[in-house]
Amino acid sequence: MNHKYHVMVIGAHCGDAEIQAGAIALKYAKAGHEVTFLHLTAGEKGNPSHVTVEAYRKQKVKESKEAAKILGGKSITLDFRDAELKLDEETVTAVSKIFRELRPNVVITHWEKSIHPDHALCPKIVQSAWLKAALTGFEIEGLAPHSITRMFHSENWEDMEDYVPDIFVDVSEEFETYLRALSQYDFIMNSSDFRYFDYYQALGTVRGCIARTTYAQTLKFPVGMNTRKGMSIPGFEL
C-alpha cells in the first residue's frame, strides 16, 4: 500500500454514518486503511414508545459498535443531545479535538440540505472543526494541529434536496457485509416511519445500475471545492 489513509465517516446520529458510507468505509478497511465512525449524537430521541430515551441511547451506542466492527472500523459517539445539535464553540472544539487526536485524512459526512436540522448542521460543524483543528492559533489541550486532506458528502434519504453525486464507488464486493452491519440497528430493521433497510438496499442497486456494476455508493464534493470533477475527456483517459 502506497499510503495509509484514516477515513472518518461523521453522522449526526448513530446509524447515519454507516448507512451513508458504510460500504465505502469497508472497502477502505479491507484495503488496510483505518476507519472510524463518529456520531455527534446517539439519535436517542427516536426511541420506540416502550424504551426510555436513556435506555435507547445505550442501545444505539451498542448497535453502533456492532455495526462498526462488521465494517472494519471503530465507533465513537459524542455526548451531544439528539435534535439539539448546535454550531457553537463547544461542539466545534469537541470535533476539532478528535481531529487532532485521531488525525483522519479523509472525512465523509452529510450533505448540507436536509429535512433534519441536525443533519444540515453536521457538515458545517465538520468544516468549522477542520479549520479550527488545522490552525496553529487555536490551542486545544496542547494537541498538535492537524489538517484533513479531503472531505466528501454522502447520501442519506433525509438529505436528498439537490444531492447530485460526483463519484460512484463500486461496492459490489462489500454490499452484503454492509447490509449485515445495517441490520444491527433496530430502527433500520423495524422503524414504522421509514423503510430504511429496503431503501438503502434499493439505493445501492440503483447507483450500481448507473455505475454499470452490481452495487455502488456515491460521494459528492463540497460546494466551493467543486471546480474539478475529472481530468479527462472520452478517448483521452489519463
Tell me which residues touch Zn ion (CB under 5 A): 12-13, 16
Tell me whether residue 13 or residue 132 sits nearer to Zn ion (CB atom). 13
Tell me whether residue 132 or residue 153 sits nearer to Zn ion (CB atom). 153
Least separation in angstroms between residue 122's CB and Zn ion is 9
Least separation in angstroms between residue 111's CB and Zn ion is 12
Q: Which residue's C-alpha cell is 435534535?
A: 83
Q: How far is CA 162 from CA 61, 132, 196, in A?
A: 31, 28, 20
Q: Give the H/E segment covering residue 203.
A: helix 196-210
Rg (CA), the chain: 17
Tell me whether residue 16 or residue 174 sits nearer to Zn ion (CB atom). 16
Tell me whether residue 13 or residue 57 sits nearer to Zn ion (CB atom). 13
Least separation in angstroms between residue 13's CB and Zn ion is 4
Q: Give the H/E segment covering residue 12.
A: strand 6-13
Least separation in angstroms between residue 54's CB and Zn ion is 19
Q: How many other C-beta atoms lie within 10 A of the C-beta of residue 49?
A: 4
Contacts of 161 by beta carbon, 8 Å cutoff, 6+ apart: 113, 114
Least separation in angstroms between residue 12's CB and Zn ion is 5
- Cell reading at 194: 421509514
Q: How many other C-beta atoms lie within 10 A of the C-beta of residue 116?
A: 18
Residue nearest Zn ion, Cβ-based: 13
Tell me whether residue 76 or residue 133 sits nearer to Zn ion (CB atom). 76
- Cell reading at 168: 460512484
